[in-house]
A and B are shown apart, each in its own frame.
Chain A
Amino acid sequence: MARTLIRRIAFGVIAVLGVAVLAFLLEFVVPGDPARAIAPRAQSAAVLENIRIQLHLNRPLIIQFLDYFGELFRGNLGTSYVQRQSVTSLILPRLATTGYLALAGVIAEVIIGGTLGIASTLYARLRAAVAAVNLTLLALPQFVVGLVLLLIFGFRLHMAPVTGGAGLAEIVLPALTLGLVGAPWYAQIVADQLADSLASAYVRTAVAKGLPDRYILWRHVMRNVLSPAITMIGMDLGAYLSGVVTVEVVFGWPGIGLLAVDSLQNLDRPVVMGTVIVGAIAVVFFNLVADVLRMYIDPRTMQDPA
């Protein structure tokens, strides 16, 4: 168990580093001059050159690379080109804001998807209806669902704020958007697992033992259903924390996704790098948490591959 964990963490560190290196190189492939982005109206070449010198942009790529990663290993993500403050101090509050949304979105996904999946498995009459709902939701992109919700509940019914922000009232629609768009995946996995489990030999054993139906469902079936769902929750939390860009843009949710988009447009390389690295760490971290949780729920996954 401990060995598995250490190996997983080591792989995680390698993955994050790989992502960082790739992102760094990509930034130099993207056309554009950060100096022009910072001083768009500056006409004189001397001013632009001065900015480049200040930001060390005129040095060879390899030197810039070593500089950046040297600082990174000291925990320093650098300073924003545009906002003149440290990337860490820009990202951390945004990370928390996105964190609320990610959590609320995953909860919505699990509730909506789980309900759909359970309903379609246990009640044969609902199967076709649930399949239709699933297919519709799968076909809709996030921004369409988000805009439709905003239109109906925000502009028509005035039940939700439309001005953006990160309060309790503002979280409902973006979380619902994430929930609706992600629900079909959960519905499918829950329905499949539930059907497998209900048809399994161990459930027949439980029936043969004369255990009550409800007891069998919760004690024998649900734990087997939960295990793959947890892996998906971990993946979603990581992915959402690395930026739910569309939803944040549609609803004006001041999270890390919005920051990433802004800084990409401004060619604010240190901030872009920061959001990418933080996102990669989030993905690795939540996958790891999901795996550890799974080991407790399904002890078969605890075995070290010899």
Chain B
Amino acid sequence: MSAGPATTASAPGPATRAAALEVESLRVCYAGLPAVDDVSLRVEPGQVAALIGETGSGKSSLALGVARLLPSSAVATGRVRIAGAELAELPARQARQRRAGLVGYIAQDAMAALNPVLPVGQQIGELFRVHRGLSRGDASHQAVQELARVWIDRPEQVAHAYPHQLSGGMRQRVMIAMAMALSPPLLIADEPTTALDVSTQAEILGLVGELQAQTGSGILWITHDMGVVAELADWVAVMYAGRIVEQGPARDVFEHAMHPYTGGLLRTRQDLRTGRPGTPLYQIDGAPPALSAGRPGCAFAPRCLRRTEICAERRPELVAAGPALGATAAQGAGTPAAGTVAPTPSPEPPWLAACHHPEVSS
């Protein structure tokens, strides 16, 4: 994966290749209330990072904040670097010109995200007309090639079709073709398979995997489907009430979730797979809290089976976790310098959890 040349055309080359995405202390507020609260995360080139959490946990606000697509009512602070470029700091005009080259955005509902009155070929082609200055004819030729790249049969015909004439899977592939058209170093997929049937989902996952192998993009995959995470992700970040409560290598987190919320999410999935008919599915009781500013303690505490007094009083920091550290870090307070994401990319990315009582596995 390091053999391919960097696709980040104008990144002022640091010695090491810049991360596909680096988010530092991002906050997104609506009317003063934080939907995303002090989130830091990192996606390496060629990596798939899954962002999971319930509806309303702030996943989509985070994604839109990264791509600078938030509605004007939202206020975002913090730093976002995409392949070294700070999209959020650029003047509006430059941000517009560079956005599609930096980040591709795949929306959840492709039917709504594609313009109903324009043929899909035009909707892909206009990227090349606007950003590469191609003529109408060259752009439509290029659009056909992009459609072929996302495994669409008879791309010449499909290019002339309108979104409503395509199947759900085809529409999502058109979205992917659009997002990948300018080979951005970062791809954000906001629950792109939620509306699709299982076999189409598998196809889309396979397609994204192959495209990523070709381009080496980093992918931030937002989902609440743990199956998709297991299939695809190298890295997992779990969001709850606007904050990341646990993040780490996908395999580790899946094997021993440190945070009780992650554990609950995994257990709901396990029940779906192995539960006997007639037995009730596991569920996490209660509902996520409404947006509020400056709440003390752990946001998950009211629903948590492991809660103690401290959980209501002090918010747990996101600190190093994992079996290696478990013995010493179990009481949480220790471990200095682990509260933030390590500034230099380490070969073994840190496994972090924000819980006063992380589960320490044997």
Contacts and interface: CB of A to CB of B under 8 A. Distances in A.
A224 B96 contact: no
B67 to A, nearest CB: 6
A118 B301 CA distance: 49
Consensus secondary structure, chain A interface: helix
Contact of B116 (A204, A211, A298, A303): A298
A210 B118 contact: no
B149 to A, nearest CB: 17
B114 interface: yes
Contact of B178 (A201, A205, A300): A205
Contacts of A207: 69, 96
B11 interface: no
Max count, chain A CB within 10 A of own CB: residue among B116, B127, B175: B116
Consensus secondary structure, chain B interface: helix
A200 interface: yes
Interface in B90-140: 96-101, 103-105, 107, 109, 112-118, 126-127, 130-131
A210 B96 contact: yes
Contacts of A123: none
Given A299-B164, A300-B116, A208 B126 contact: no
B117 A205 contact: no
B69 A202 contact: no
B162 interface: yes
A297 interface: yes
Interface in A196-216: 200-202, 204-212, 215
Nearest to A297: B117
Given A208-B99, A209-B126, A223 B118 contact: yes
B118 A201 contact: no
A209 B178 contact: yes
A211 to B, nearest CB: 6
A274 to B, nearest CB: 40
Contact of A224 (B98, B99, B104, B117): B117
B164 A220 contact: no
Contacts of A208: 67, 69, 99-100, 103-105
Nearest to A199: B71
A141 to B, nearest CB: 37
B164 to A, nearest CB: 5
Nearest to A206: B115
Nearest to B64: A204
Interface in B140-186: 162, 164-165, 175, 178
Contact of A299 (B114, B126, B162): B162
A212 B130 contact: yes
Interface in B28-81: 67, 69
A219 interface: yes
Contact of A204 (B98, B100, B113, B127): B113
14 contacts: A202-B112, A202-B113, A202-B115, A205-B113, A205-B175, A208-B103, A209-B130, A210-B127, A211-B130, A215-B126, A219-B118, A223-B118, A224-B115, A299-B162
Q: Lowest 3 A-B CB distances belong to which pairs?
A: A210-B100, A201-B112, A208-B105
Interface of A: 200-202, 204-212, 215, 219-220, 223-224, 227, 297-300, 303
